[in-house]
Structure 1
Amino acid sequence: MADLFDTPHPAKDSGPRPLADRLRPKSLAEVIGQEKILSREGPLGAMLAAGSLSSLVLWGPPGVGKTTIARLLAAETDLHFVQISAIFTGVPELRKVFEAARLRRQNGQGTLLFVDEIHRFNKAQQDGFLPHMEDGTILLVGATTENPSFELNAALLSRAQVIVLERLSLADLERLAQRAEKELGRALPLKGEAREAMLEMADGDGRALLNLIEQVAAWKVEGSLSRDQLAQRLMRRAAKYDKSGDEHYNLISALHKSIRGSDPDAALYWFARMLEGGEDPRFLARRLTRMAVEDIGLADPQAEAVCLDGWQTYERLGSPEGELALAQAVVYLALAPKSNAVYTAYKAARAAARETGSLMPPKHILNAPTRMMKEHGYGAGYAYDHDAEDGFSGQNYFPESMKRPVWYLPPERGFERELKKRAEYFAKLRAKRQGG
């Protein structure tokens, strides 16, 4: 997907230019919303000040200026700008790009190669960039909306600095709207609440905002439109909550507690409310997986798998069909038996580890690879469980000076009913073997 202000300037006689193209920043100082990385103290500002631009991966949501910044970096460093998209570029095209860059370098001209959607290249294609980056044929600037840690090769990441671009704030979007109005030569016919709604609809995406502004500016209306009139004309409901504000946390809390309370209908309602408000389904997928491990755990070990499968299905199908897989996970979690026994035991174990972190394991379970360690009693008296009756030796595995605790207390629910029987069986057997 192309990014904000990324369409090449057309010829003057090629017809009307889109607003996004007309507002394309001409310098890095004009880029809105990315001051943290472009200031003199920021990573890109510092590189430019030092005159040592390195290969980069620009990671951020759509419409925040990834392509614009890449184009302006090329201009600032006097590099020839080449743009390709991983969606439409194959190996033959890449070879031509690299060969042209090599010839350009022989003639004293460097190349900044901007690769949009770089995460869509497979491992072999990503590896193909490495020799050209290392010998200076290209300076690579990749753009991605996906987490580079998961989507890009470690070898490529080791040769490029990841720069995180932020979603545009409402204040940033307002500045962009004012810039658009100045370009249009008139104010938008919107009341204050409608203007706020339009900014919320853009959801941090500058390109989306400019598209909305172009639609609104084309309307012939008398007076100013209200929030409801704007939503009706755009056939889009203004977002009811700010995804980074209190309402966001209120709704996710409501979803979590509805699932914990085993109410599938209420859980589906809050899940739907968040989707209708514009929530990222990936955020919901993460939170559902967290609920599976915190509130269900081993009472139903399948719950975590259902969440992960739903998450993967969403990634493969996309919207809107993929949300159904997440809705299935919501219902499954709500109706699953609940247990926080492992969560509670885990927290207790972490607390004990902080308090007793210097205690050594008992010597009988330490390996003794050297003669000196054997002489000091390492491994002495260790009972190999597979040789013991019932495959259970009953030995102590805690530090010798530490009183044996009991942290995991499975309830009589779901699969943990079976685990409770097993835990009690081994506890009795342990007491018998150690007593003997």
Structure 2
Amino acid sequence: MADLFDRTADAPRPLADRLRPAALPEVIGQEQVLGPDAPLGVMLASGTLSSVVFWGPPGVGKTTIARLLADETQLHFVQISAIFSGVAELRKVFDAARARRRDGQGTLLFVDEIHRFNKAQQDSFLPHMEDGTILLVGATTENPSFELNAALLSRAQVLVLQRLGHDDLERLAARAEEVTGKALPLDAQARAALIGMADGDGRALLNLVEQVLAWKIDAPLDAAALSTRLSRRAAQYDKSGDAHYNLISALHKSVRGSDPDAALYWFARMLDAGEDPRYLARRITRMAVEDIGLADPQAQAICLQGWKTYERLGSPEGELAIAQALVYLALAPKSNAVYAGYKAARRTAKSTGSLMPPKHILNAPTKLMKDEGYGKGYAYDHDAEDAFSGQDYFPDDMDRQAFYEPVERGFERDLRKRIEYFAKLRSQRDA
């Protein structure tokens, strides 16, 4: 008997819930996993759906697709969140799935934020996946390679869901207008601005659309009027997550690729997302050391000056000093010769163990050490012609090595000439 006091059936449903697709073909975007030749399309066509992990940003359809997969395969759909579930709830879920299996009913278990489970909790899924008690569909916004156990990943296929593009979001907005029977009261530029505010998140777009459709206005709004009424959605960014490492990688490679405009763009993106400018100043200084080196010895000093200027001025004025250093780095001649030489020297140092320096370059502060030959035969370079003796400073049991190979760019072009000059003198001394 229905509860006469239950008003949930009459309660208004959010637009995002009303527009939730009823079948997989209605899902907007994600053709790379849902298309006929895409992984899920092939699985469903062959009737052999396996466990999967959806990796992608918020609002791209992870939950919706999981629910529709259960419908397509006649599996009982169970949804849990790793944020709110513990061992006790997992045990109940597995017990219920086992009981359903005995009755001939399979279970699709959708685990949102699956990366939040610890290793032991992730391992608890394995036996139930292997014996067919559950078909696992996980969802994560973090890189599964870093956040999920290898054992779990070996039993589930990772499918990447992408942020929705402009055309996808436009289709979603048009569908909302069709379902509600109302047109968005926006001109073309304002409509484009609204879609940009969603930042690739379909759920965020529908929430924005719902707000706009509720306004009582007489004429379409332009982009400026829209921006005064709505705030742009905060960029998807986690200082310890994928977005952080993806953007700093993009910034670093833009500098290495001598593209100041791209470097400024990624720099601005990170600042807008709330990144600490001091972190960026430190990373930019590292770029000067790693990718420019002695091709432009001033680069490191300019980075340190920009960093120091930021500390004096603070935000936002001081950020311009870091941006100035960033542009200088992007346009500076590039060389990783010292970086490569340093790494090669470290590898060689580890492989040669405890070889002693040659005795002729060891000090002999005691008579015993002199008797042992310490310092014997050392040539004082300032007394030699050209202030260069050409002596060997590597261990006696080790051939001379060449770790530093300057490039023919910037100041390192001069350093290469010096190395070649000393090599010529050394060969003459040896002769």
User: TM over 0.5: same fold?
Assistant: yes
Match of 1:313 in 2: none
Give the drift of 1:345.
6.9
d(CA) in 2 for partners of 1:329, 1:70: 48
Match of 1:97 in 2: 93
Q: How does 1:316-355 map to 2 (within 5 A)?
A: 340-342=334-336, 346=340
Query: Are 2:184 and 1:173 aligned?
Result: no
Give the drift of 1:383.
11
Answer yes or no: is the 8 Å Cα contact 2:55–2:139 preserved in 1.
yes
Q: Which structure 1 residue ranges, 5 or more long, are not aligned?
A: 1-9, 240-247, 304-322, 351-366, 368-381, 399-403
Q: Would the alpha carbon gap of residues 252 and 154 (structure 1) be closer, same or farther in structure 2, given more than 3 Å must change?
A: closer
Answer yes or no: is the 8 Å Cα contact 2:164–2:201 preserved in 1.
yes
Deviations 1:6-65 (A, max 9, x none): xxxx98624000000100100000000111211110000000001001110001111000
Give the drift of 1:395.
3.2
Deviations 1:330-372 (A, max 9, x none): 689869999954358749x99xxxxxxxxxxxxxxxx9xxxxx
**Aligned partner (choices 262, 266, 274) of residue 269 of structure 2:** 274
Query: Are 2:42 and 1:46 aligned?
Result: yes
TM-score by length of 2: 0.65
Say which SS state the counterpart of residue 180 (structure 1) adopts.
helix
Give the alignment's Cα RMSD to 1 decimal.
Answer: 5.0
Deviations 1:357-406 (A, max 9, x none): xxxxxxxxxx9xxxxxxxxxxxxxx99734754672373377xxxxx685
d(CA) in 2 for partners of 1:237, 1:22: 22
Give the drift of 1:252.
5.8
d(CA) in 1 for partners of 2:45, 2:125: 26
Give the drift of 1:150.
1.0
Match of 2:125 in 1: 129
AA aligned opposite 1:297: E
Give the drift of 1:188.
0.6
Say which SS state the counterpart of residue 13 (structure 1) adopts.
helix
TM-score by length of 1: 0.64
Q: Would the alpha carbon gap of residues 397 and 53 (structure 1) be closer, same or farther in structure 2, given more than 3 Å must change?
A: farther
Moved over 3 A (4+): 235-239, 251-257, 266-273, 278-282, 284-294, 327-341, 343-347, 386-391, 393-398
d(CA) in 2 for partners of 1:171, 1:254: 29
Answer yes or no: is the 8 Å Cα contact 1:296–1:340 preserved in 2.
no
d(CA) in 2 for partners of 1:154, 1:237: 35
Say which SS state the counterpart of residue 206 (structure 2) adopts.
helix
Identity %: 52
Q: How does 1:225-264 map to 2 (within 5 A)?
A: 225-236=221-232, 256=255
Aligned residues: 341
Deviations 1:93-131 (A, max 9, x none): 111111111111111111111000111111111111111
Match of 2:104 in 1: 108
Q: Would the alpha carbon gap of residues 335 and 199 (structure 1) be closer, same or farther in structure 2, given more than 3 Å must change?
A: closer
AA aligned opposite 1:162: V
**Aligned partner (choices 295, 300, 310) of residue 288 of structure 2:** 295
Match of 2:381 in 1: none
Q: How does 1:35-434 map to 2 (within 5 A)?
A: 35-236=31-232, 256=255, 273-275=268-270, 291=284, 294-297=287-290, 340-342=334-336, 346=340, 385-386=355-356, 388-389=358-359, 392-393=395-396, 395-396=398-399, 406-408=404-406
Answer yes or no: is the 8 Å Cα contact 1:296–1:336 preserved in 2.
no
d(CA) in 2 for partners of 1:80, 1:285: 51
Say which SS state the counterpart of residue 81 (structure 1) adopts.
strand
Q: Would the alpha carbon gap of residues 435 and 393 (structure 1) be closer, same or farther in structure 2, given more than 3 Å must change?
A: farther
d(CA) in 2 for partners of 1:279, 1:223: 34
Q: Would the alpha carbon gap of residues 255 and 134 (structure 1) be closer, same or farther in structure 2, given more than 3 Å must change?
A: closer
Q: Which structure 2 residue ranges, 5 or more long, are not aligned?
A: 1-5, 236-246, 295-299, 301-314, 345-350, 362-393
Q: Would the alpha carbon gap of residues 230 and 255 (structure 1) be closer, same or farther in structure 2, given more than 3 Å must change?
A: farther
